[in-house]
């Protein structure tokens, strides 16, 4: 997927998600394996409220692919990022 489309797909209706996804897109996404990049594309199809709950550890995605990319995003964003 082209970077411009990813940028606009990563801009969400919630500022909190923008603050997670946009830095992830800039700093981590380019280093991902192709399978994980495709998982990120799938993540962008999720509802904002679902993503918000996942990133705040309130819920866990049922889909194993989404769970993997959510775990990667969590590990690389926020105060506990590597």
Helix H, strand E, coil C: the string for 14-59 is CHHHHHHHHHHHHHCHHHCCHHHHHHHHHHCCCCHHHHHHHHCCCC
What pLDDT does residue 30 have?
A: 96
With 60 as the cut, is the pLDDT of residue 48 above it? Answer: yes
Q: What average pLDDT score do residues 71-81 get?
A: 82
With 70 as the cut, is the pLDDT of residue 50 above it? Answer: yes
What pLDDT does residue 81 have?
A: 60
What pLDDT does residue 23 have?
A: 95
Q: What average pLDDT score do residues 29-52 get?
A: 97
With 70 as the cut, is the pLDDT of residue 33 above it? Answer: yes
**Tokens representing 33?**
């394996």
What's the burial of 52, exposed, middle or buried (CB within 10 Å: 0-12/13-18/19+)? Answer: middle
Spatial separation of the C-alpha atoms in residues 62 and 7, rounded to whole Å:
25
* Domains (range + CATH), the chain: 3-76 (1.10.150.250)
């Amino acid at each position: 997927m082209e970077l411009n489309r990813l940028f606009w797909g990563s801009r969400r209706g919630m500022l909190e998600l923008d603050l997670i996804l946009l830095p992830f897109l800039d700093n981590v996404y380019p280093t991902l394996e192709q399978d994980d990049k495709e998982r990120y594309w799938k993540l962008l199809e999720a509802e904002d409220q679902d993503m918000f709950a996942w990133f705040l550890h309130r819920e866990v995605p049922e889909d194993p692919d989404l769970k993997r990319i959510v775990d990667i995003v969590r590990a690389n964003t926020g105060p506990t990022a590597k």
